[in-house]
Structure 1
């Protein structure tokens, strides 16, 4: 049974995921209404979300330094906190690459990818909301499996997007740019799965 002080750790993990969800929602909205001329402003907004996520991570780390007894092993809390922060970082990275490569027209796969990323983050939030009750939960494993499933969809989308890119054979600069962007999209899904796998490991260690 966790006390009020212990529960704060779970609340910080949930807060970190909420920033990832917000970042994914912004990315999806920015791509659905894509306008290269406002990418700079959109990056500023995204960076503020990433900054807030960093502050949440540091708050958890400071709490770990101060306290001797924690509800989970310190390395597990630290690993989860960092993994969640990596999700938000990877989402920001997509927007940065669109700006860096001066993309003015999206490929259709980008929109589909942004929806999958948003679904992954929503599923991750669902998982983390259940995480404080993992010792008694009857649904948490299903939530982990759902994230694994969405990551597999992301993998298939990545494979097909790369196939279309090289079948259509645009110029070399476009191939290089979109190869990197697709890599970043896939990384978003991978980071969500990494959090889910880390949660599963914590459950196994504490069962």
Structure 2
């Protein structure tokens, strides 16, 4: 009979790709202005992590259909897997926008948003790693609450960034580029919060 543990191996592998993508995003942001070649390498690394995540998604969905026993509801597994994949897809969108739009100036707010993205990704990995036992329910809910708080922090940074951008930036092209970058960076934290919500629902239903 198929073992439940295989699902948790896939969840953890998926969450690790999320963290790898978040770390590469921060590195991309740090090197974008002074080391464009290095920045391109980080963008390519994000593409690789996203491809690995797609393979993990495919493996997880295949396992759903071939397993008689699953650790929790199949629809919840599907939502969690797609939610993790959405985080990496959005990180990839950020990287593509930064490189395609030829952004040459990185603002403090953009760096702050990238750091918040990574903080969310790290907590996603933590909370996914706790899912193998509902005895971890308290820790799971605490970590999910931290993700919600980080997403709220990102909202505040986004509002500040947008206000300063439209108030102080004279170059219309730069306004358009940075607006897209800010919104996509904040969207990464939104995707992490969505995963937190999915996991909270799993805990409430199964603990």
Q: So what's the TM-score if we normalise by structure 2?
A: 0.93
Q: Is the 8 A contact 1:46 1:92 kept in 2?
A: yes
* SS of aligned partner of 1:5: coil
1:1-207 matches, cutoff 5 A: 5-34=3-32, 35-135=35-135, 137-207=137-207
Q: Is the 8 A contact 2:2 2:69 kept in 1?
A: no
Q: Matches of 2:173 and 2:60 in 1, distance apart?
A: 42
Q: CA deviation digits over 1:100-135, x for unaligned, max 9?
A: 111112122111111111111111111111111125
Q: Matches of 2:12 and 2:206 in 1, distance apart?
A: 20
* SS of aligned partner of 2:4: helix
Q: So what's the TM-score if we normalise by structure 1?
A: 0.93
**Cα RMSD between the aligned structures?**
1.6
TM superposition shift of 1:42: 2.7
Q: CA deviation digits over 1:123-155, x for unaligned, max 9?
A: 111111111112553322111101111111111
Q: Is the 8 A contact 1:36 1:103 kept in 2?
A: no
Moved more, 140-149 or 62-71: 62-71
Q: Is the 8 A contact 1:36 1:104 kept in 2?
A: no
Q: Matches of 2:42 and 2:197 in 1, distance apart?
A: 31
* SS of aligned partner of 2:131: helix
Q: Matches of 2:38 and 2:110 in 1, distance apart?
A: 18
Q: Matches of 1:204 and 1:46 in 2, distance apart?
A: 33
Q: Is the 8 A contact 2:113 2:157 kept in 1?
A: yes
Q: Matches of 2:125 and 2:117 in 1, distance apart?
A: 12
Structure 2 unaligned runs (5+)? none
Q: Is the 8 A contact 2:19 2:121 kept in 1?
A: yes
TM superposition shift of 1:39: 3.8
